[in-house]
A and B are shown apart, each in its own frame.
Chain A
Amino acid sequence: MHITSPVRTPLVTGGKTYADVTEDICRHVEGKPTKEWKVAFTISLLVLLYGAACVAWTWWEGLGVWGLNKTVGWAWDITNFVWWVGIGHAGTLISAVLLLFRQKWRTSINRAAEAMTIFAVLCAASFIVMHMGRPWLAYWALPLPNTFGSLWVNFNSPLVWDVFAISTYFSVSCLFWFVGLVPDLATIRDRAKNKVSKYIYGALSLGWNGSAKAWARYEYISLILAGLSTPLVLSVHTIVSMDFATSVIPGWHTTIFPPYFVAGAIFSGFAMVQTLMLVTRVVYKLEDYITLEHIESMNKIITLTGSIVGVAYLTEFFIAWYSGVEYETYAFVNRATGPYWWAYWAMMTCNVISPQLFWSRSIRRSVKWTFFISIIVNIGMWFERFVIIVTSLHRDYIPSSWAMFSPTMFDIGDYIFSFGFFFTCFFLFSKYLPVINMAEVKAIVKSSSEKLPKKVSGVAKGERVSAPTFNKDAQ
């Protein structure tokens, strides 16, 4: 148990007891789907169906249906891939890095953020498979024995590193998420009234009974998984950035890419968490668990990472000039002033200027402003990847081959597919699984709730104590 100053702002408001936590969160899992949920789910399912039809046609007809040309050979596909992988990073950051830093505010948002990670990585992977054009040969990316051909995969290639990084990241995130879910699934199992849910949640909770031994092991492996996930998440976007940085294309061939991509990933990921959580907290009436304190903390991280990204943009520009390499300089001048200037300045405005608004306390504690800026940031981060990929490619070394990229309905349709998939998964998650980690929230209720039970704390709310009696460490 930690020493918590009585003057620290509470993380769980409304004077919740342990039973309240269970009740508030299980209610949504146990109840019948609401009308709003059904409508939202149906819409996302329809979007998914439309997207799936577009993807099916892309595969049937071939990648020629995209707007790619000889000069711009990568466009929306890889833009979308990097964008989705980046979004995924926030979940791991919240659950792993904030666990290592003992940030208690993570407990209310880690479950949903991790779910978001898993779905976002799946969306990202779908673009990798899509841009292969022949998805039935996707297994060629795996290191398979020579009976499939005479060569092994090239372990020197960042594209192969990507296969390892993304698949490890996805599977380890799933594990981390599932281990965290087990105690909560057991709670739902023990409350379940009907046979079907008792059976399903019973099977998923694997026989968890909350014994001290199991909890000790649980805490231990959570810590190691967090310790593993932290370098893992950094490695994933580092490797994604190396897909570009190890090439010799002006505008891509930059050593700043790994940290810049990782910061950008966390930046966009937190923005997506904000977008989702602001809606979830209102719909599920979880304002006592996801408080303005949580929103503010996340906005601070958005400002920090947004500023890192801003510095990276400027550094990149400076180094392009300072390098004295004509092609490198041109690539950057062309970004800002060439035919794609609008994409560049959209990126600059959304990513560098908009998060700076959060220096104002009233803006970063405003739900409306946060929601608005979180969407702006994600638009900006999509443009960042678009700028990096398309504007670096569209004017290559031979002016006769300079070209522009314009998306077709299948570029757009395949992007829509990922949205449909993401939201369908997220709606299913938010209905059938507890959106907040009950066990972890219960563990912080007492030390950070606004109403410490007086019989436990020995002091009334607001009273300053040097060593609260409930605090074992202090005794």
Chain B
Amino acid sequence: MAESTGKFLVGVYDDDDVILEAVGKVKQAGVKIHEVYSPFAIHGMDVAIGHPRTRIGIAAFMFGVTGLACGLALILWTMGFDWPMIIGGKDPISFPNYVPVLFEMTVLFTAFGMTFTFFISNGFGPTVKPLLFDPRCTDNKFVMAIDLSKNKLSEAEIATVLKSSGAEEVSVKQV
């Protein structure tokens, strides 16, 4: 994942509740947290760290509108203009019959657009080498990474803060 490089201090925690509390404690001590890595979603973690709210929902809505517009354009052009057909004695353009296809097009565009936005915003790709501060963070450990270059406190001071917040191990990692 394309993220910043440099010297990081890595705290390994054993429990999701402990690390969620630790985020608050570490921030209170004046340390800027780079990111937290966990094997599953911890509710409220992004808010606790202070990440901005994800805007993926807006993207999803835009894709939905695009899908609806494309569906409308396709149906109106084919059924109404290019080769108008009278079916069942109804007007060539009869909206109720178009609802199913318009709905499916909206869903299709939203789902694909949103998922690929998700992949792109996370910097995902089949050849991407993941940035793992500790490989156990996809198994059973919870990892807090602190970018030393972005913190005023010294390495030793931050290590003490991490330890006192409940970290089991603290180590330095160069990425």
Residues of A bordering B, CB below 8 Å: 1, 17-19, 22, 143, 146, 150-156, 158, 160-161, 164-165, 168, 171-172, 175-176, 179, 182-183, 186-187, 189-191, 202-221, 224-225, 228, 231-232, 235, 239, 438-440, 442-443, 446, 453, 456, 470, 472
Q: Once bound together, how far apart are the Cα atoms of A86 and B114, in whole Å?
A: 27
> Does B6 lie at the interface of the complex (its beta carbon under 8 Å from any beta carbon of A)?
no
B115:A221 contact, CB within 8 angstroms: yes
Given contacts A150-B83, A175-B111, contact A215 B100 (CB under 8 A): no
Choose one: A19, A239, A439; the contact of B100 (CB below 8 Å): A239
Shortest Cβ distance from residue A14 to the other chain B in the assembled complex, whole angstroms: 16
Contact string against A for B residues 111-124, beta-carbon threshold 8 Å, 1 for contact and 0 otherwise = 11011001101111
What are 20 pairs between A and B in contact, CB < 8 Å?
A18-B139, A22-B139, A153-B78, A154-B85, A168-B108, A172-B107, A190-B138, A190-B139, A205-B130, A207-B130, A208-B138, A209-B132, A211-B35, A212-B38, A214-B122, A221-B56, A221-B115, A224-B60, A232-B107, A439-B41
A209:B130 contact, CB within 8 angstroms: yes
Given contacts A18-B140, A217-B54, contact A210 B43 (CB under 8 A): no
Q: Once bound together, how far apart are the Cα atoms of A453 and B140, in whole Å?
A: 15
Given contact pairs A156-B79, A165-B104, enumerate 20 new A-B contacts (beta carbons under 8 Å): A1-B44, A22-B139, A156-B87, A164-B105, A175-B112, A176-B111, A189-B138, A202-B130, A206-B124, A207-B124, A208-B124, A209-B37, A213-B35, A216-B45, A231-B107, A439-B39, A439-B40, A442-B39, A446-B17, A470-B17
B140: chain A residues at CB < 8 Å are 17-19, 22, 442
Given contacts A152-B82, A210-B37, contact A1 B132 (CB under 8 A): no
> Does B42 lie at the interface of the complex (its beta carbon under 8 Å from any beta carbon of A)?
yes
Beta-carbon contacts under 8 Å, B1-21 to A: 1, 15-18, 20
Residue among B35, B97, B111, B136 having the largest count of chain A Cβ atoms under 10 Å: B111
Shortest Cβ distance from residue B4 to the other chain A in the assembled complex, whole angstroms: 13
B124: chain A residues at CB < 8 Å are 182, 206-208
A214 and chain B: residue at smallest CB distance: B122
B121: chain A residues at CB < 8 Å are 217
Shortest Cβ distance from residue A46 to the other chain B in the assembled complex, whole angstroms: 34
B74 and chain A: residue at smallest CB distance: A143
Chain A interface main SS type: helix
A445 and chain B: residue at smallest CB distance: B40
B30: chain A residues at CB < 8 Å are none
Shortest Cβ distance from residue B41 to the other chain A in the assembled complex, whole angstroms: 4
B15 and chain A: residue at smallest CB distance: A456
B46:A213 contact, CB within 8 angstroms: yes
Given contacts A207-B128, A209-B138, contact A155 B39 (CB under 8 A): no
Q: Once bound together, how far apart are the Cα atoms of A369 and B111, in whole Å?
A: 39
B38:A446 contact, CB within 8 angstroms: no
Shortest Cβ distance from residue A44 to the other chain B in the assembled complex, whole angstroms: 29
B138: chain A residues at CB < 8 Å are 183, 186-187, 189-190, 208-210
B112:A171 contact, CB within 8 angstroms: yes
A211:B100 contact, CB within 8 angstroms: no
B76 and chain A: residue at smallest CB distance: A155
Pairs A-B, 10 closest by C-beta atoms: A207-B128, A18-B140, A206-B124, A216-B46, A152-B78, A19-B140, A161-B100, A203-B126, A164-B104, A215-B41
Q: Once bound together, how far apart are the Cα atoms of A137 and B130, in whole Å?
A: 44
Q: Once bound together, how far apart are the Cα atoms of A352 and B76, in whole Å?
A: 45
Q: Once bound together, how far apart are the Cα atoms of A146 and B114, in whole Å?
A: 32
Q: Once bound together, how far apart are the Cα atoms of A225 and B103, in whole Å?
A: 14
Choose one: B74, B85, B122, B128; the contact of A217 (CB below 8 Å): B122
> Does B153 lie at the interface of the complex (its beta carbon under 8 Å from any beta carbon of A)?
no
A218 and chain B: residue at smallest CB distance: B41
B132 and chain A: residue at smallest CB distance: A209
A209: chain B residues at CB < 8 Å are 1, 37, 130-132, 137-138
Choose one: A161, A182, A212, A224; the contact of B36 (CB below 8 Å): A212
B129:A207 contact, CB within 8 angstroms: yes
Shortest Cβ distance from residue A252 to the other chain B in the assembled complex, whole angstroms: 17
Choose one: A161, A182, A210; the contact of B137 (CB below 8 Å): A210
Choose one: A171, A210, A440; the contact of B108 (CB below 8 Å): A171
Choose one: B101, B103, B114, B127; the contact of A221 (CB below 8 Å): B114
Q: Once bound together, how far apart are the Cα atoms of A213 and B110, in whole Å?
A: 21
A218: chain B residues at CB < 8 Å are 41, 118
B45:A207 contact, CB within 8 angstroms: no
Q: Once bound together, how far apart are the Cα atoms of A291 and B158, in whole Å?
A: 45
A152:B79 contact, CB within 8 angstroms: yes
A1:B15 contact, CB within 8 angstroms: no
A152:B1 contact, CB within 8 angstroms: no
Residue among A150, A217, A225 having the largest count of chain B Cβ atoms under 10 Å: A217
B85: chain A residues at CB < 8 Å are 151, 154
Q: Once bound together, how far apart are the Cα atoms of A146 and B82, in whole Å?
A: 9
Residue among A1, A190, A203, A205 having the largest count of chain B Cβ atoms under 10 Å: A190
